[in-house]
Amino acid sequence: MSEFLKTQALDIFRAAVRACDAGNLVRQALRRNGEILTIAGKEVSLAGSRRVIVIGAGKASARMAAAVEEILGDRIAAGLVVGKKSQPPSTEHRASPALQKIQVMEASHPVPDEGSLLGSLRILDLISSATDRDLILCLISGGGSALLASPMPPVTLEEKQEVTRLLLKSGAPIQDLNTVRKHLSQVKGGRLAQAAFPARILTLVISDVVGDPLDVIASGPTVPDPTTYGEARRILAGLDLWEECPPGVRELLTRGESGEIPETPKPGDPCFERAETFVIGHNRIGLEAAAQRAAALGYHPLVLSAELVGEAREVAKVLAAVAGEVKKRNRPVSVPACLLWGGETTVTVRGKGRGGRNQEMALAAALELSGTDGIVFLSASSDGEDGPTEAAGALCDGETVDRARGLGLDPLRYLEENDSGSFFSALGDLVQTGSTGTNVMDFQVLLIQSGFWA
């Protein structure tokens, strides 16, 4: 029976998420000794700072802000962060406490709303008063692109929403989405650092992007932007979306490309002399914790990659192939084994079902593993949300396909319809965590036991 293995896979996944708890990450990165603050090993004197202002955006905003207030509460003059409109939080990942100094606003994700707009304007207002004697702490996590939305005139919020929807629907890679968004914004692509100048701005980042590229995470509000208006226009044209674009968007990008509107700040821009960024959280921290937990449970852990990308259903085949090799040949690691992967895959939506990249990967894996014994596969998102569903992901094993057929479900059909959510819901094999308050992409846990075991 693999119910026991499933419980252990969940346990290992939870250890990964716990290690990436946004509050823990902030507390580990940020140490204070009186007026001396240490950020990821670097000392910053608070004595020289007249005011400390905290700003930020992302799915982990609230928990990051709470930890910062815990550490720096007495020194914070003002603060505002924008988080995602809340899912019910899990019991394990308790709701953030009410804060005294930092206001937490909520906005919509992945398409920005009025909350995103209001939050961004208030943040711009807060930092516009900062001088070279002030210190700004900027807390950035995944989702910040949508949660911080301040369209550059003449673009309206509706127009920005519309172009975001067009790009999401086209399946454009996140890099392309961000190149466009950065050039429609008053805060993205380094423009927040520009607005903060001459104040000193220190950014703490929890990365939700493969390879942790600072200019991509939350559209890099405080780092130089290597992309241009011309590129943004060409991306839309290349996806055949230019004609569909709202008029304000076309006007802004055209004027930007002609040089009429200043570019986003580029590397070397003076505003970055006062800006520093620290990545305090990323997927690998979770993988390390998962490996430790797996070892404690008696497995031989092996981390394969923290940068897993690709079409979820195809990626599943490769992960299953490695699990099969472990099972048959005790390599690349011997049983009992725990193979660990992290990253973020994609789904090309063709059907009308309900699901997310993790659930879809688990469904494809179920088909690959069908009939095997002693292999369990888990794929789930660290933020507790897998695509537009309320589950974090799903679990499967060699019996999943047979169990489904026993219930009259055709797994291939569900895969064709991108309906992995309904599939695993019927089987009771969803991974559900509620909102975890962090966001370091996804984890895959594969447990492989020897042939016959109780």
State the residues that interact with a copy of itself by CB under 8 A. Answer: 284, 302-311, 314-315, 317-319, 321-322, 324-325, 329, 331-333, 343
Residue 329: partners with Cβ closer than 8 Å, 6 or more residues away: none
Handedness of CA 67, 70, 75, 77 (dihedral sign): positive
Other C-beta atoms lying within 10 Å of the C-beta of residue 365: 30
Return the number of the residue (216 or 322) whose C-beta is nearest a copy of itself.
322
Return the number of the residue (50 or 331) whose C-beta is nearest a copy of itself.
331
Burial of 278: CB neighbours in 10 Å, binned 0-12, 13-18, 19+: middle
Residue 341 CB, shortest distance to a copy of itself, in Å, is: 8
Residue whose C-alpha is closest to residue 147's, from 208, 102, 81? 81
Return the number of the residue (198 or 324) whose C-beta is nearest a copy of itself.
324
What is the SS3 assignment for 110-164? CCCCHHHHHHHHHHHHHHHCCCCCCEEEEEEECCHHHHCCCECCCCCHHHHHHHH
Return the number of the residue (261 or 309) whose C-beta is nearest a copy of itself.
309
Residue 49 CB, shortest distance to a copy of itself, in Å, is: 35
Return the number of the residue (102 or 306) whose C-beta is nearest a copy of itself.
306
Residue 446 CB, shortest distance to a copy of itself, in Å, is: 12
| Cα–Cα distance measured from residue 357 to residue 345, given in angstroms and rounded to the nearest whole number | 6
Other C-beta atoms lying within 10 Å of the C-beta of residue 100: 10
Residue 172 CB, shortest distance to a copy of itself, in Å, is: 13
Two tokens at 416? 């064709």
Residue 102 CB, shortest distance to a copy of itself, in Å, is: 35
Amino acid (one-letter) located at 4: F
Return the number of the residue (261 or 303) whose C-beta is nearest a copy of itself.
303
| Cα–Cα distance measured from residue 312 to residue 381, given in angstroms and rounded to the nearest whole number | 13
Residue 329 CB, shortest distance to a copy of itself, in Å, is: 8
Two tokens at 141? 């996590």
Return the number of the residue (65 or 378) whose C-beta is nearest a copy of itself.
378
Residue 65 CB, shortest distance to a copy of itself, in Å, is: 31
